[in-house]
Structure 1
Amino acid sequence: MGKVSDLYRQRVAEGRIEADPAQLSVLPHLDRVLDDMAATPAPDKRSAWRAFLGVGSSPPASAARGLYLWGGVGRGKSMLMDLMAEAATVPARRVHFHEFMQEIQAGLNRARQRGDQDTVRPVAMEVAAKVRLLCFDEMQITDIADAMIVGRLFLVLLEQGVVIVTTSNRVPEDLYKHGLNRQLFLPFIDLIRQRLEVVCLDSPVDHRQGRASGGQVWFCPADAAARDAMDAIWDDMTGGAQGEARRIEVGGRSFTLPRFANGAGRSSFWDLCGKPLGPADYLALTREVRVLMIDAIPRLSASNYNEAKRFVTLIDAIYEAKVRLIASAADQPEQLYNEGEGSFEFERTASRLREMQDAGWGRGA
């Protein structure tokens, strides 16, 4: 196995990241997981069948203990997950937890359609057949459907010898807090404490806010210079990643965020507001991103009234969710929508857009 600490120090030496004392303090815990996996063979996957049959629930003796890394937003947890997956020399997958659970729910639906009595087992077995290390980013449980199956899903994965490393903004005891039928979820918290080492990344520095809010975040007019400035911010936030299209599921349908990387999303105005999207879609978007970059917001008027209404709804959603906004636009917020139906109501949106430019605004502020 490689070491996360070696990759981290290499990134520091290359000037790609700045050394953070809190991040340095958790590197030994990440290295420990990889060292434990290297020191022990992969467990006999047949042991999982004992769990299915209700015979014991202890992990295989050779299973390495996983890690639950929690702390505030922007502390570098996602970056550390990237390094963890890169350092691993066993089959590993690094995936956003919400995306993973969407895949699991889709697999459960297929199992139901086949008539499987135990729908969790085949889905978990399929995952375990492909990976030995699962690196989850941003574990959060807000959906009752996820809450009701995640405990058994994890138990089967662990019994199959899959090692789980995950990040979260919450201490385990705050997962699914105030959720419906939460008492049924509590055994999963116990499972986390038993099978995963819980470590806090306690840093006073919000690296994402430092990058995005340390300078200009609203660029006008939306010309080539604005585009270059937006590209530079994107490269800084994502470590130079191009980003991939992100499909966001909403009530049995989906829409696509054109670019997503390291908790940041990027889209043109028309991709988000020129399509028939509504409040549910924008709320789902806020659960996916911490920073949203919108390119080329036009002047708004009666000629694009429907798009303007969607833009207002979008800004309301990201404002309430404290998603950091970086945008290029035809003009300053107060000058975007000066006449026509809806211009008076837009004054509140303009005020929010102005507030959101403040350096201290956003999640974790």
Structure 2
Amino acid sequence: MTSLRETYDALIQDGTLHADPAQEAVLAEFDRIRDALLVPVKKGLFRKAPEPPMGLYLWGGVGRGKSMLMDMFVAHLEEIPSRRVHFHAFMQEIHAAMHEARKTGVDDAIAPVAADVASSVRLLAFDEMQITDITDAMIVGRLFQALFAAGVVVVTTSNRIPDALYKDGLNRNLFVPFIELIKEKMVVHELASPKDYRQDRLAGTQVYFTPANAEARAAMDAVWDDLAGDAGSPLTLRVKGRDVVIPQYHNAMARARFHDLCGKPLGPADYLALAEAVRVLMIDDIPSLGRTNFNEAKRFVTLIDALYEAQVRLICSAAAAPEMLYLEGEGTFEFERTASRLREMQAEGWGKSTAD
């Protein structure tokens, strides 16, 4: 049985990875969990099931390799029943399952949903644990209490230390017990690598493509393939009781067309939630703006403000250079700031990943 450390070393030897002491320091935690879960459970009338191992809460800045290490870990779980899922997607499934459970008249919809999850897996691997929605915040503690009680082991990545989850959220005092539960059931480990591998891969890469033609589309596809390495799947953000769907998402990267983000009645809260959830956003097909699409233009300004303040890395294709996007109609003066920000966000090294 190959350990994760042996696999990691082999990838360094063949040039796939570069040695990183911060990444190497966490490999033993992954091997600890796998080895404990591989121990056969002896069955018998008077035999007590062994205590499940502590899980792992792996946090740190963007681009440090958290998701890569977790994917490597999940690939080494052999016959252990497990599931790797983005945390947002998992919580959407939980909400849907609770809705169905309530139709049966149960008093507590969380209990049967948690039991159903626990019956299918021994380990849950979450990517990007973060809580931005009050509905999630109010149920996640009881949900995970039930999962842990059933012996499910949880491994998760996050950009935030547990104490910063749902920071400044509504009724956060009700959420604090979940933070304590994380510390009780999971080893909290910071991946404190000084190197941002994603930013290195972006270095020297064009991030603003114009005009928005077939050539620009191909270039955007190439950037996505290089940085995401995966086709991605839709990301659903729950904002004030509504679902905001981003067509493509993988490992803190998202991609959408201009119409998906600005052609629909979205507002500041939606864009703030998006900026909180992603670290790199790709926007395809930004059109020329003016009086004929004034509402879309206003939403675009709000979107760029949210991305700028959150220091999200922006990659996009557009009909024209920033200063030439909005040339006529009400709002041209106000758009000057947006054009300036679009220019600034093209600078090499700009973005949240340099600050984390």
- The TM-score, its normalising length taken from structure 1, stands at 0.86
Which of 104, 110, 118 lines up with 2:94 in the alignment?
Answer: 104
**Secondary structure of the corresponding residue to residue 120 of structure 2:** coil
Question: Does structure 2 conserve the Cα–Cα contact (< 8 Å) formed by 1:84 and 1:135?
Answer: no
- Whole-Å separation in 2 of the counterparts to 1:25 and 1:94: 22
Question: Does structure 1 conserve the Cα–Cα contact (< 8 Å) formed by 2:268 and 2:302?
Answer: yes
Q: Percent identity?
A: 58
- Whole-Å separation in 2 of the counterparts to 1:42 and 1:2: 24
**Aligned letter for 1:325?**
L
Residues 271 and 177 of structure 1: CA distance in aligned 2, closer, same or farther (over 3 Å): closer
Summarize the alignment of residues 183-262 of structure 1 with structure 2, pairs less than 5 Å apart.
Answer: 183-239=173-229, 241-262=230-251
1:10 deviates by 5.1
**Secondary structure of the corresponding residue to residue 100 of structure 1:** helix
Question: Does structure 2 conserve the Cα–Cα contact (< 8 Å) formed by 1:141 and 1:175?
Answer: yes
Which of 259, 269, 283 lines up with 1:280 in the alignment?
Answer: 269
**Aligned letter for 2:71?**
D
- Whole-Å separation in 1 of the counterparts to 2:149 and 2:49: 6
Question: Does structure 2 conserve the Cα–Cα contact (< 8 Å) formed by 1:141 and 1:176?
Answer: yes
1:11 deviates by 4.7
Which of 293, 296, 319 lines up with 2:308 in the alignment?
Answer: 319
**Secondary structure of the corresponding residue to residue 237 of structure 2:** strand
Of stretches 222-231 and 342-351 in structure 1, the one that deviates more from structure 2 is: 222-231
Summarize the alignment of residues 259-274 of structure 1 with structure 2, pairs less than 5 Å apart.
Answer: 259-274=248-263
Residues 112 and 43 of structure 1: CA distance in aligned 2, closer, same or farther (over 3 Å): farther
**Secondary structure of the corresponding residue to residue 344 of structure 1:** helix
CA distances 1:310-334 after superposition (whole Å, capped 9, x unpaired): 2212212222222110011222111
- Whole-Å separation in 2 of the counterparts to 1:78 and 1:118: 34
**Aligned letter for 1:130?**
S
Question: Does structure 1 conserve the Cα–Cα contact (< 8 Å) formed by 2:88 and 2:236?
Answer: no
Residues 112 and 353 of structure 1: CA distance in aligned 2, closer, same or farther (over 3 Å): same
1:164 deviates by 0.5
CA distances 1:21-55 after superposition (whole Å, capped 9, x unpaired): 311221121121111111253999xx9xxxxxxxx
**Aligned letter for 1:129?**
S
**Where does residue 305 of structure 1 map in the other structure?**
294
**Secondary structure of the corresponding residue to residue 295 of structure 1:** strand
Question: Does structure 2 conserve the Cα–Cα contact (< 8 Å) formed by 1:40 and 1:62?
Answer: no
Deviating above 4 A after TM superposition, structure 1's stretches of 4 or more consecutive aligned residues are: 9-17
Residues 305 and 121 of structure 1: CA distance in aligned 2, closer, same or farther (over 3 Å): same
Residues 187 and 204 of structure 1: CA distance in aligned 2, closer, same or farther (over 3 Å): same
**Secondary structure of the corresponding residue to residue 216 of structure 1:** coil
1:274 deviates by 2.5
Q: Does residue 85 of the first structure (1) align with residue 74 of the second (2)? A: yes
- Whole-Å separation in 2 of the counterparts to 1:286 and 1:20: 29
**Where does residue 333 of structure 1 map in the other structure?**
322
- Whole-Å separation in 2 of the counterparts to 1:321 and 1:128: 36
- Whole-Å separation in 2 of the counterparts to 1:23 and 1:302: 52
Residues 255 and 27 of structure 1: CA distance in aligned 2, closer, same or farther (over 3 Å): same
Summarize the alignment of residues 150-165 of structure 1 with structure 2, pairs less than 5 Å apart.
Answer: 150-165=140-155
Residues 172 and 42 of structure 1: CA distance in aligned 2, closer, same or farther (over 3 Å): farther
**Aligned letter for 1:145?**
T
- Whole-Å separation in 2 of the counterparts to 1:304 and 1:180: 35
1:93 deviates by 1.2
1:2 deviates by 5.7
1:352 deviates by 1.0
- Whole-Å separation in 2 of the counterparts to 1:257 and 1:182: 27
Residues 356 and 43 of structure 1: CA distance in aligned 2, closer, same or farther (over 3 Å): farther
Unpaired runs of 5+ residues, structure 2, are none
CA distances 1:211-260 after superposition (whole Å, capped 9, x unpaired): 23443211222234333332222111112x12223333334433432221
Question: Does structure 1 conserve the Cα–Cα contact (< 8 Å) formed by 2:279 and 2:353?
Answer: no
1:13 deviates by 5.3
Unpaired runs of 5+ residues, structure 1, are 48-58
1:66 deviates by 0.9
- Whole-Å separation in 2 of the counterparts to 1:71 and 1:20: 14
- Whole-Å separation in 2 of the counterparts to 1:131 and 1:4: 21
Question: Does structure 2 conserve the Cα–Cα contact (< 8 Å) formed by 1:312 and 1:349?
Answer: yes
- The TM-score, its normalising length taken from structure 2, stands at 0.88
Question: Does structure 2 conserve the Cα–Cα contact (< 8 Å) formed by 1:43 and 1:161?
Answer: no
Of stretches 130-139 and 302-311 in structure 1, the one that deviates more from structure 2 is: 302-311
1:111 deviates by 3.1
CA distances 1:140-187 after superposition (whole Å, capped 9, x unpaired): 233333333322221211121211001122222333334444444333
Which of 332, 350, 353 lines up with 1:361 in the alignment?
Answer: 350
**Aligned letter for 2:41?**
P
**Aligned letter for 2:311?**
K
CA distances 1:71-106 after superposition (whole Å, capped 9, x unpaired): 112211122222222222222111222222232233
Of stretches 90-99 and 324-333 in structure 1, the one that deviates more from structure 2 is: 90-99
Of stretches 162-171 and 109-118 in structure 1, the one that deviates more from structure 2 is: 109-118
Of stretches 185-194 and 341-350 in structure 1, the one that deviates more from structure 2 is: 185-194
- Whole-Å separation in 2 of the counterparts to 1:42 and 1:225: 61
Of stretches 4-13 and 112-121 in structure 1, the one that deviates more from structure 2 is: 4-13
**Secondary structure of the corresponding residue to residue 64 of structure 1:** coil
Residues 25 and 326 of structure 1: CA distance in aligned 2, closer, same or farther (over 3 Å): same
- Whole-Å separation in 1 of the counterparts to 2:168 and 2:299: 31
**Where does residue 279 of structure 2 map in the other structure?**
290
